[in-house]
């Protein structure tokens, strides 16, 4: 969120963290790019047996395997990667990933027992000694059309051909029409707050009036500084504390106060351009379609894409603010984000819809991460 997750792929409370902390793009721009460790510092990790992992035996491992298989084409065709382990960083070759991916292909879809055996046979678990922190992100959905109308007036722009790595027009200038008439509009939506939300998340969907859905993927930014609107609202006195300034609360205030909201959003000069991904879902920074509640945004300086990561944390209970339930499951590292830093930091992709939005907007939980490191073949 990322924002990578502002880097525009699917890119989070990455959302709340980004809105409040100003840790912005680049999936979801300014995001980690998956190029590997920048500084191979030693990470405190320790071996643990699968039997010692609370909830391991009860998870639906076939769901995690489904997500893992989506990474396989990238893993077997990509360069060697490095993962933090208890003995320093370990290099994993494309050949090792091919061996593991070939083994995964032999597991029948939906077979949780066989999927569990696959992970136990091909990986060894290492618990990260650093405190874990887990947030969430989701794929917002807006109503819109491919053509403007009295209802759909807010343009969604693709990347301008003259965009470089230098500062481009500001958000205010773009919203006031500086790009109008240049043929950059890929769609029109009804609600500017919803478009802003999609820009923060780095991806989203448009339910088209003509029928069907357009999936939006990150296509660059205007290279302007990011200002967190949560901090702006705190300074204005709209919220008394960061705990109050959740994304649902921020969104509700902006929709109730559209004129003020426009000015608040323009305090954030950063503007995101999109492309129609023509896929059935959000694409993570790894370049593969991400899976609801099985794809995780990670710090790729420690954990490469495709790595299974067990998270042991809590998730907000729907419509019951302040209450949580245990949330233990196997995730696959398939996204990244500027706000996602550290070996035990994760951002859970919750999918699309109102339920996913509530989870993502409220999740900011402590916990622990257990990284599954490939065994040697």
Same domain, 85 and 192: no
Q: State how far the Cα of 68 lies from the Cα of 308, in Å rounded to an integer.
A: 8
Residues 166 and 94 in one domain: no
The secondary structure element, H or E, covering residue 259 is helix 258-266
**Residue 185 banded pLDDT, cuts 50, 70, 90:** very high
Does 61 share its domain with 78?
A: yes
Residues 144 and 215 in one domain: yes
Could you tell me the two tokens for 106? 């032999």
Lookup: tokens for 242: 């960061």
Which structural domain range is residue 146 located in? 139-276
| 12, part of any domain | no
CATH number at residue 271: 2.40.240.50
Contact 343, 299 (CB under 8 A): yes
Among 237-241, 285-289, 297-301, the range scoring the smallest mean pLDDT is: 285-289
Whether 144 and 200 map to the same domain: the answer is: yes
Beta strand 345-352 pairing with 324-336: unpaired
Residue 377's pLDDT is what?
Answer: 53
**Widest pairwise Cα distance in the chain:** 62
* Residue pLDDT, tens place only, 130-154: 999 999 999 889 999 999 999 999 9
Question: 18 lies in a domain?
Answer: no
19: confidence class by pLDDT, cuts 50, 70, 90: low
More confident residue, 3 or 311: 311
130 lies in the same domain as 151 = no
Lowest model confidence (mean pLDDT) among 181-185, 240-244, 335-339: 335-339
Q: Give the separation between CA 205 and CA 302, rounded to whole angstroms.
A: 31
Residue 255 lies in a domain: yes
The percentage of residues in the chain with a pLDDT greater than 70, rounded to a whole number, is 89
Q: Which of 216, 242, 276 is the last residue of a domain?
A: 276
11 belongs to a structural domain: no
Give the total number of structural domains in the chain: 2
pLDDT at 276 > cutoff 60: yes
Considering the domain architecture, whether residues 134 and 146 belong to the same structural domain is answered as no
> Looking at the domain assignment, is residue 38 inside a domain?
no
- Sign of the dihedral defined by the CA atoms of residues 325, 326, 332, 336, in that order: positive
Give the Cα separation of 300 and 333 in Å (integer): 9
Provide φ and ψ at 15, rounded to 5°. Answer: -60, -55
pLDDT bucket at 278, cuts 50 / 70 / 90 = confident
Q: What is the 3-state secondary structure (H, E, C) of 80-133?
A: CEEEEEECEEEEECHHHHHHHHHHHHCCCCCCHHHHHHHHHHHEEEEEECCCEE
pTM over 0.85: no
Note whether residue 17 is domain-resident: no
């Amino acid at each position: 969120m990322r924002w990578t997750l502002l880097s525009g792929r699917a890119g989070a409370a990455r959302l709340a963290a980004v809105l409040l902390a100003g840790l912005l793009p680049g999936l979801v721009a300014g995001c980690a790019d998956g190029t590997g460790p920048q500084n191979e510092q030693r990470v405190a990790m320790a071996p643990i047996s699968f039997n010692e992992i609370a909830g391991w035996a009860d998870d639906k491992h076939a769901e995690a395997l489904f997500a893992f298989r989506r990474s396989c084409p990238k893993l077997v065709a990509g360069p060697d990667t490095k993962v933090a382990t208890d003995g320093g960083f370990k290099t994993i070759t494309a050949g090792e990933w091919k061996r593991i991916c070939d083994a995964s292909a032999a597991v029948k879809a939906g077979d949780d027992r066989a999927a569990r055996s696959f992970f136990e046979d091909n990986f060894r678990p290492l618990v990260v000694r650093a405190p874990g922190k887990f947030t969430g992100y989701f794929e917002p959905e807006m109503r819109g059309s491919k053509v403007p109308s009295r209802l759909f007036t807010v343009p969604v722009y693709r990347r301008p051909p003259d965009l470089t790595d230098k500062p481009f027009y500001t958000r205010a200038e773009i919203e006031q029409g500086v790009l109008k008439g240049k043929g950059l509009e890929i769609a029109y939506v009804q609600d500017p707050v919803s478009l802003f939300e999609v820009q923060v998340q780095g991806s989203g969907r448009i339910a088209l009036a003509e029928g069907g859905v357009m999936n939006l993927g990150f296509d660059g930014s205007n290279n302007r500084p990011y200002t967190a609107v949560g901090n702006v609202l705190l300074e204005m006195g709209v919220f008394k504390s960061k705990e109050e300034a959740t994304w649902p609360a921020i969104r509700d205030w902006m929709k109730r106060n559209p004129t003020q909201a426009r000015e608040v959003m323009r305090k954030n000069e950063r503007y995101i351009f999109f492309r129609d991904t023509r896929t059935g879902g959000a694409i993570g920074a790894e370049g593969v379609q991400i899976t609801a509640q099985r794809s995780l945004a990670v710090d790729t300086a420690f954990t490469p894409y495709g790595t299974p990561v067990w998270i042991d944390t809590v998730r907000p209970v729907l419509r019951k603010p302040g209450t949580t339930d245990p949330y233990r499951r196997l995730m696959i590292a398939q996204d990244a984000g500027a706000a996602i830093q550290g070996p035990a930091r994760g951002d859970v992709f919750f999918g699309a819809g109102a339920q996913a939005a509530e989870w993502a907007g409220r999740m900011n939980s402590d916990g622990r991460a257990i990284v599954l490191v490939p065994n040697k073949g």
